[in-house]
Amino acid sequence: MSSRQSSSRSKAPKGEYIETDSGNKVSRKANISGTANITLGGRTVIMADVNLRGDLHRLPSSTDEPSAKPSSTSTHAISIGKHTVISPRCILHPPHRVHRGATQYYPLKIGDNVFVGPGCVVSAAAIASHVYVGEGSVLMPFCMIRENVRILPGSVVPPNMVVPPGSVVGGRPARVLGEVGEGWGVNVAGAGGAEMWVEGGDLRELVRSVK
Amino acid sequence: MSVSFPYTYYACSCADNTSTQEKRVSQEPQSAQDEDERTFDPRSRRSNFSLYPIEHLLYCTECHEMRCPRCVTEEVICWYCPNCLFEAPSSTIKQEGHRCSRNCFNCPICTSPLSVNSLEQPDPPPDDKPANKFGGPYILHCPYCAWSTLDIGITFPRPSNITGQLAKTLNGGLPRPPRDRKPSSSLKRSDPPTTHHLDDLPSPTSDTSTSSSPEPPSARTPDPQDRYHHLLAFYKHQLSTSDAALLPGTTSTSASELGPGSPSSIARLLHMYGSSIRSRAPESGPSPMREAATPEEGLLIYDAAAEAADDATIRAMQTTAWDTHASVSQRLDATNRHARAVDDLRPISPLLRTKRAKRCGACRQILAKPEGKVTSVRSKIKLLALQNLPKLSIKPLASPSTMPPPGTSAAGRPTSTLLTTFSSPTLALPALSPSSPFALRPLTTTHYLLTLTNPLYDSIRVHLAAPSALRGRHGAGSRVTILCPQFEVGANTDRRKKGERERVEKVRREEAFWTVLGVGRIVGL
Amino acid sequence: MSETKRVSISAPQGTPSEGRRTSTTAASRQSLAAKRQSLNFPKAPTVIDPSAIVSTHAILTGLHPITIGPDVVLHPYCKISSVEGPVTIGRGCIVAERAVVGFTTETAAQGDSALKERDVTLNRNVVVGTSAVVEAKVVDEGCLVGAGCHLKGGSNVGKYCKIAPMVIVQPDEWIYDFMVVYGQNARRRDMTMITNKDTVFALKKEEHEQHLAVLKRLIPSNLTKWQ
């Protein structure tokens, strides 16, 4: 399902978004570097003024024996799952660290149905699925956000922090403040017109509404 | 929890029938009368405890009532460390003080997780290769606030078992002086491997001990941890030497058995704090145990030295700089509650978290039961209020003047609120700013759209009411006008088939208009 | 080209010269109105060391001189603005994407109009995080400015400070050497650095140099655009 972002785009003549074959919508105003190292899972929205730093990828280290493990030296930088929305002015910047005496950039992985609010800086190692990142948050390098997490607006998640599944975090530095309710992400369809999407739920309808 | 401005909270009625309430009612019948007549006031302080967003509410299908976090009982399914996401075995939880005993530590300054860094070569992650080639001392370092164990003079020779190394080191890098080790032949107990510090326990310097000459007391005043271990050792020794029935389960009805000084109650106490005791078989009736008598036995009495230490602390607080003192929150987080200076703080093992099943408080039916695995987010049972109660959502009715020109066609939906209000500068806080198009402004009428979603397969009839004038700090003078106080919401026809979405759209949608007239004050937040 | 010549006459990077500051302040006063209109990112007069990495998408704008020292890495979409005063970036600095170094027309209009000196200097090995705004007068050696920080005009940041993400440093504030600013403007002295200078400095330097080396391999430089 994953399509390279550089794959052929069906050129819509006027709209703000370019839609790829797998339904990804990428704003024309997004600043994307290193497209070859970015994977979008399909039906994912990249809004205006988003910076995707696909150029910060893993380098084949000189100390590594090149023939031994070709998989570890893949130049993958950013992968984003399905139905994920990256709001305007976000920056996705893969994290780097010194590992065994060599500095390396590491891939940034974002799961499905993740909403990243406007103006966030994401350097996390991984964001799992059904995560809601509030506006203006900073996810510092190598933090790991597990499933069903709500990050309150303006939080700074410190480096290396693991946010356990189903928790609410906030603050600077962020700490676990509570738990999301059992009904997190459950959108009950019913008579009377429910919202088309809820925080942490399936964002398919939100993606559909983006034009 | 919902925090975006027009939000809906549900009031659980469980607060109305608590025992304290009943007692109060019987005392003051007059006010109880008022209480009955008064409608629910969301602004009263007590309402804070019964208002919840619908995502947090469960629904008991036996009692046919919603169940809020206050009226469910919880059962712990498992304990896990939020940092390493490893499940803690329930046998060791209490012994470790409900903290992670693996290599997880939080910064005592800022609570972010600490990482293990090598001082010799940059940062070999210990989890990757425990016996890696990068040697040298290791430190715990906070990548957020740059605190490290160097600040308290501690380095670790090995990157693994930091917990054990930390327990043996005092602040300043000195090894924790081994507690006077006196071999006592009478103590024959098994030392659990997890509690390495227990083998350093002194035996009480009572006449029963077969010790040699007492060692010179250390110059250091014993810290609370020392005293605890002294006391623990004292009681253990007492227990092992007494001829009492020590099995915690032993039933005995004699009065001495139930007293606080009886061996069985002490044994129960020790058992509660997790240390295993090997007991002898009961031989005769229990003899009462004596209490600790000396500081070596863990006795804490008033002490001139302690007062001098207090004076020194006060002097230090008067003379040294502000930032050398631990803040209140740092002291509350610290494992050593006596820490006053920043230098006294130590890395904190994170407190464990739990996964819990929830039962109805009235009928004990299981309402929610998550899967046992720590990382799993699925549930075996989940009876949500969302699926059984009409969902109310309130949102501002978009008007061209208040909304910025939306880039989306879906004006008025939360979708568009998220998509169109991004003009604020990067550093502005995203919370409700006065410039937000949804904030209430004085002397202006704001329209809100209340939408009811009926998840039930029967139609419901809805009556809406609002107080004629809002009271309280925020809403004084404001009025709420409901334009459609009575309506019916049709039955849910969505059978969760694909392609039926259009039909659901066509199902009768009833809307009520709330008009809020702000006079001078902003209503609510 | 004539503008570049003017810059090369003025003091080279890294040496703070009082004379230059006063002269450029006068110049900034004169051409203030002209600069306010310069929304179209005019190319700034620049002196760039050949070993610096300036990405194609980096923006260097303004009328005052911009001096970029050796081994500097300017990520794509970062902005160096000398609209209100000269900007000097010392050896080994890293400026991440969407960071702004120097006063821009918008921030200058919002800021303190009484502020006279609007030059910005980053000394050696300063790392400016993503979407940070640096209008500080001096950010000294080895500082780490986190993502989304705002160092407002006239502030001074000492050596080896660490400014955590989203912190706002007020105008004319002094952050002394080895300070850590974190959380809701909480401060503490970095005792790890102070008490263990030798080992920790060596580690930090090593790490920074490795980071620079990696960035040099990853980010293509386009110096010709600015010459």
pLDDT of residue B300: 66
Q: Which structural domains are found in chain C, ordered by start?
A: 1-7+19-41 (no CATH), 42-226 (2.160.10.10)
Cβ neighbours for B73, distance < 8 A, ≥ 6 positions apart: B358, B359, B360, B361, B364
Max mean pLDDT range (B232-241, B494-503, C51-60): C51-60
pLDDT over 60 (residue B201): no
pLDDT of residue C110: 63
Confidence of residue B222 (pLDDT cuts 50, 70, 90): low
pLDDT over 80 (residue B182): no
Assessment of whether the complete model's pTM goes beyond 0.90: no
* Contact criterion met (CB < 8 Å) for A105 and C183: no
Confidence of residue C213 (pLDDT cuts 50, 70, 90): very high
Per-residue pLDDT tens digits for A145-187: 999 999 999 999 999 999 999 999 999 999 999 999 888 888 7
Per-residue pLDDT tens digits for B51-68: 888 889 999 999 888 898
Domain spans of chain B, in order of start: 10-57+384-523, 105-120+133-178+302-348
**Residue B318 burial (CB < 10 Å; 0-12/13-18/19+)?**
exposed
pLDDT over 70 (residue B155): yes
Beta bridge partners of A138: A121, A156
Who has greater pLDDT, B255 or A184? Answer: A184
Least trusted range by pLDDT, from B97-106, B302-311, B364-373: B302-311
pLDDT of residue B339: 79
Query: For residue A188, which residues of chain B lie inside 8 Å, CB to CB?
Result: 384, 386-387, 391, 453, 455
Closest to C225 in 3D by CA, of C13, C7, C12, C53: C53
Taking the Cβ of residue B517 and every Cβ of chain C, the question of whether any pair is shorter than 8 Å is answered with: no
> Do B449 and B492 form a contact (C-beta atoms < 8 A)?
no
Number of separate helices (H) and strands (E) present in chain C: 6, 21
Per-residue pLDDT tens digits for B379-408: 888 899 888 888 888 877 765 444 333 333
CA B453, CA B446: separation in Å to the nearest integer?
Answer: 23
CA B432, CA B477: separation in Å to the nearest integer?
Answer: 22
Confidence of residue B422 (pLDDT cuts 50, 70, 90): very low
Closest to B55 in 3D by CA, of B76, B69, B42: B69
pLDDT of residue A14: 66
Confidence of residue B409 (pLDDT cuts 50, 70, 90): very low
* Contact criterion met (CB < 8 Å) for A121 and C183: no
pLDDT over 80 (residue A208): yes
Least trusted range by pLDDT, from A188-192, B353-357, C97-101, C152-156: A188-192
* Contact criterion met (CB < 8 Å) for C192 and B427: no
What do you get for the CA distance between the two ends of chain B, in Å? 14
Taking the Cβ of residue C131 and every Cβ of chain B, the question of whether any pair is shorter than 8 Å is answered with: yes
Query: For residue C97, which residues of chain B lie inside 8 Å, CB to CB?
Result: none
* Contact criterion met (CB < 8 Å) for A91 and C131: yes
Mean pLDDT, rounded, for C142-155: 92
Mean pLDDT, rounded, for B11-26: 56
What's the CATH superfamily of A17-57+75-180+198-209? Hexapeptide repeat proteins (2.160.10.10)
Residue positions counted in chain C: 227
pLDDT over 70 (residue C88): yes
ipTM beyond cut 0.90 = no
Phi, then psi, of A173 in degrees rounded to 5:
-75, 155
CA B313, CA C82: separation in Å to the nearest integer?
Answer: 52
CA B20, CA B486: separation in Å to the nearest integer?
Answer: 36
Per-residue pLDDT tens digits for B459-496: 888 888 877 666 656 556 677 788 888 888 888 775 54
pLDDT of residue C166: 94
> Do B467 and B475 form a contact (C-beta atoms < 8 A)?
no
pLDDT over 60 (residue B225): yes
Phi, then psi, of B87 in degrees rounded to 5:
-75, 130
Least trusted range by pLDDT, from B454-458, C6-10, C176-180: C6-10
Q: How far are the Cα atoms of B258, B328, B378, B495, B506 from residue B382, in angstroms, in the given order?
A: 44, 39, 9, 19, 30
Taking the Cβ of residue A178 and every Cβ of chain B, the question of whether any pair is shorter than 8 Å is answered with: yes
Per-residue pLDDT tens digits for A91-107: 999 999 887 778 889 99
Mean pLDDT, rounded, for C103-122: 73
Distance from the Cα of B156 to chain C's closest Cα (Å) equals 15
Task: Quote the mean pLDDT of chain C.
Answer: 80
CA A76, CA A60: separation in Å to the nearest integer?
Answer: 12
* Cross-chain CB nearest to A96 (options C97, C131, C214): C214
CA C123, CA C138: separation in Å to the nearest integer?
Answer: 7
Mean pLDDT, rounded, for C184-213: 88
Best probe of the A interface among B55, B100, B498, by most A CBs < 10 A, is B55
**Nearest chain C Cα to A77, which residue?**
C218
* Cross-chain CB nearest to B123 (options A88, A97, A210): A97
pLDDT of residue A62: 56
